[in-house]
Amino acid sequence: MKKIDEYQGKKVLVMGFGISGINAAHLLVKLGANVTANDKATPKNNDIVDDLEADGIRVITGDNPISLANEGFDVVVKNPGIPYDNPLVAAFVKQGTPIITEAELGWQIFDGHLVSVTGSNGKTTTTTLTQLMIAENAKHQVKYAGNIGISFSKIAEDLGPDDTLVTELSSFQLLGAPTIHPHIAIITNIFSNHLDYHKTRENYINAKLNITRNQTKDDFLVINWDRDEWQKIAQRSQATIVPFSRLNKSHEGSYVEDGMIYWRGQEVMPTKDIRLIGPQNVENALAAIAAAKLSGVTNDAIKKVLTTFSGVRHRLQYVMEYQERLFYNDSKSTDIEATEVALQGFNRPVILLAGGLDRGYTFERLVPYFKKHVKAMIVFGECKDKMKDAGNQAGVPVVESENAITAVPEAWKLSEPGDVILLSPANASWDQFPSFEVRGDKFIEAVEELTGKKEQ
* pLDDT tier at 382, thresholds 50, 70, 90: very high
Q: Is pLDDT above 80 for 456?
A: no
Asked whether residue 123 is marked as a ligand-binding residue, the answer is yes
Confidence of residue 46 (pLDDT cuts 50, 70, 90): confident
Mean pLDDT confidence for 140-155: 94
Work out the average pLDDT over 215-234. Answer: 97
As a dihedral over the C-alpha atoms of residue 133, residue 136, residue 142, residue 148, rounded to 10 degrees, the angle is 40
Q: Residue 410 pLDDT more than 90?
A: yes
Residue 196 pLDDT > 90:
no
* 298 labelled binding-site residue: no
Determine which of 18-22, 136-140, 267-271, 310-314 has the lowest per-residue pLDDT on average.
Answer: 310-314
Residue 120 counted as an annotated binding residue: yes
pLDDT for the residue numbered 195: 77
pLDDT band (50, 70, 90) for residue 336: very high
Express each pLDDT in 77-115 by its tens digit: 999 999 999 999 999 999 999 999 999 999 999 999 999
* Alpha carbon 303 to its chain's center: 24
User: Does the annotation flag 78 for ligand binding?
Assistant: no
Is residue 44 over pLDDT 90? no
Q: Which domains are seen in the chain, by residue range?
A: 11-100 (3.40.50.720), 103-308 (3.40.1190.10), 317-449 (3.90.190.20)
- Please give the pLDDT value at position 129: 97
pLDDT for 356: 97
121 labelled ligand-binding: yes
| Confidence category of residue 310, pLDDT binned at 50, 70, 90 | confident
| Percentage of the chain exceeding pLDDT 90 | 88
Give the model's pLDDT for residue 251: 83
